[in-house]
Amino acid sequence: MQAIVEVKDLVKRYKDVNAVDGISFSIPKGGCFGLLGPNGAGKTTTIEIMEGIIPATSGKVLYKGEPVSPSIAHQIGIQFQHTALQDFLTVKETLNLFSSFYERTLPQETLIELCDLGDFLNRDNRLLSGGQRQRLLLALALINDPELVFLDEPTTGLDPQARRNFWQLIKNIKAQEKTVVLTTHYMDEAEQLCDQVVIVDKGKIIEQGAPTALLQQHFSHVFIYLPREAVPESLVDAQGWHYVDNRVEITTQSVESTVSLLISEQVPLEALHVKSANLDDLFLKLTGHSLRE
């Protein structure tokens, strides 16, 4: 598949710290590409270089085969982690203001529908909820009809329902055949939205690929959890199982055989929980610490 962005041997150094430490990857055209890692991993620095906002110490970024230059600002859309909106303007007035900055824009009706702004078009920016604010910022990132859209941790701080509503908006954008570059430290978000991910830690790439393929590559088992008090300690020791907080964690390649063993040992199963490995489990396996730390 044709790459819309290529990152080659990218380095960004601040005094004695390598915020980005020699990373390379390519982003295929269309779909959602995720930069995944904990806070401070180098995600935001990487995309700010890709956006042409800050220079790299070394390495290069190519957009459609050409080096990134300041002119890229008119061809891409960006939703920053933190964006100040003009006070005393309504949502509709804000759309009008930002439309005036570009020669070519999406029709306002399309933006309103795509980002689900219709219920609060005439509301002052100061009165928007967190989810409404993020939907407006997404519309502003799309206002110049970009082919490539950067979303830097767009759901941080949102409640679970607002996060899931925002996921649907991103899926709507993907359906418009735009390329989305998403940074996040939420593993469920990456698994829901991203076709390809690059996992970074301390400025380096530690793994990359399609989420499902990565999990299949690194895990052949599932996890079973039971309350600590439900499983005799002698059985935990004999089977080599582990305690995690107030639960017993069992890793198994056969749920059926494990459940049969538990039944034979008369272990109550009312609170049994089965979980497949996710990207946080992968990050923990590769680095020894949680994605959310």
pLDDT (average), residues 262-290: 89
- b/e string for 98-132 if b means 16 or more Cβ within 10 A? bbeeeeebbebeebbebbbbeebeebebeebeebb
pLDDT (average), residues 39-49: 90
Within a 10 A sphere around the Cβ of 154, how many other Cβ atoms? Answer: 25
The answer, yes or no, to whether residue 74 has pLDDT greater than 90, is no
Phi, psi of 47 (to 5 degrees): -75, -25
Burial of 233 (0-12, 13-18, 19+ CB in 10 A): exposed
Give pLDDT tens digits for 146-201: 999 999 999 988 999 999 999 999 999 998 889 999 998 888 899 999 999 999 99
Phi, psi of 122 (to 5 degrees): -100, 15
Burial of 204 (0-12, 13-18, 19+ CB in 10 A): middle
Contact 213, 195 (CB under 8 A): no
| pLDDT at position 186 | 86
Residues 6+ apart with CB under 8 A from 254: none
The pair of three-digit structure tokens given for residue 154, joined into one six-digit string: 């767009």
- What CATH number belongs to 3-210? 3.40.50.300
Cα-based distances in Å from 218 to 87, 92, 204, 212, 276: 49, 48, 19, 10, 12
Tokens 């910022």 map to which residue? 137
Amino acid at 259: V
Give pLDDT tens digits for 188-236: 899 999 999 999 999 999 999 999 999 999 998 999 999 999 999 999 9
Strands 204-209 and 247-252: unpaired
Domain extents in the chain? 3-210, 220-276
Instruction: Give alpha helix (H) positions in the chain.
Output: 43-50, 91-99, 108-114, 130-142, 160-175, 187-193, 211-218, 233-239, 255-264, 279-287
